[in-house]
Amino acid sequence: MQLSTGQIGLWTASLLGQLYLVYLIARNRIWEDLPVFSWYFIINLFNGLLIAATYIYWGTQATQSWSTFWALEGVTIFLRTMVSVEIWRKTLKPYPGIWALAWRLLAAVGMLGLLVAYVQVYKQHPTFRNFMFSAKPHLEFASAITLIVFLLFCRYYTVSLEPALKAITIGICFYSALQGLNATIVNHWSSVYVPVWRYMIVLSFGCTMVIWWRGLRVPLPATERPVLYPPEFYPKYSLQVNEKLRRLNEQLEGFLKP
């Protein structure tokens, strides 16, 4: 089965949107502050072109097309996870104790998702494609949940999050949640949902790019370690939150090595 006219139109629109985002990354020198995100997006662009080429050459149902898609999907999920790590690290760098806990949490969640997927495919034919097919919804939902926790943490402790970092975080969270739902549905109703599943992949990524466009229109400002002023400089509520964050960081630094 070849790509339909509608699918080709969506892929073309997505390609143009990705090229515009590459332009924003280059113009605002985002790659200097967020190299992992920049590489993720560029590699994802080439992955999309390669997948489109396999669909055009072999068709959407060919074994070669499916194998290529899932191999590249594994690379994409890994790189997107590394983008989340980059965002967490850049934001929490002034708080080494909290960062030490955060990266352990991210690693544990990722390993749990892989373990659940391995258990599910253990009794089936253990191919890489089947493993990725099973692992994708778990990894996507895990990514979305950890990013929601991260955003709530920043909001509660009034941790400064630059507009670009917030846009990237919200975009990945939105995309991961939709892809987790999309993958869950296709796992249960693959015979009838596959055409819709392909549309949803492109549409959800298009919506994510719109979020990223808004956040990456201006360069990232230089980041400095936040100054924790004496109590008299803070209103009562801000002082309480700041002291909670300070104590939490100090306690975690005592238990964990950053």
Report domain extents, the chain.
5-255
Q: What is the pLDDT of residue 205?
A: 92
Q: What percent of the chain has pLDDT over 70?
A: 80
Task: Give the tokens for residue 104.
Answer: 């352990």
Alpha-carbon Rg for the chain, nearest whole angstrom, is 20
Look at residue 158 in the predicted model and tell me its pLDDT.
81
Q: Distances in Å between the alpha carbon of 229 and those of 93, 99, 154, 232? A: 18, 22, 19, 8
pLDDT of residue 241: 46
**What's the whole-number mean pLDDT along residues 113-119?**
74
For residue 226, the 8-state DSSP code is: P
Residue 252, pLDDT above cutoff 80: no
Question: Cα 246 to the chain's mean position, in Å?
Answer: 28
Phi-psi region at 158: left, alpha or beta (left = phi > 0; alpha = psi -120 to 50): left
Question: Nearest-CA neighbor of 204 among 237, 171, 236?
Answer: 171
| The residue type at 123 | K
Helix (H, G, I), strand (E, B) or coil at 123: coil
Alpha helices in 59-189 (DSSP H): 63-92, 96-121, 128-156, 163-188
In degrees and rounded to multiples of 5, residue 39 shows phi and psi of -65, -40
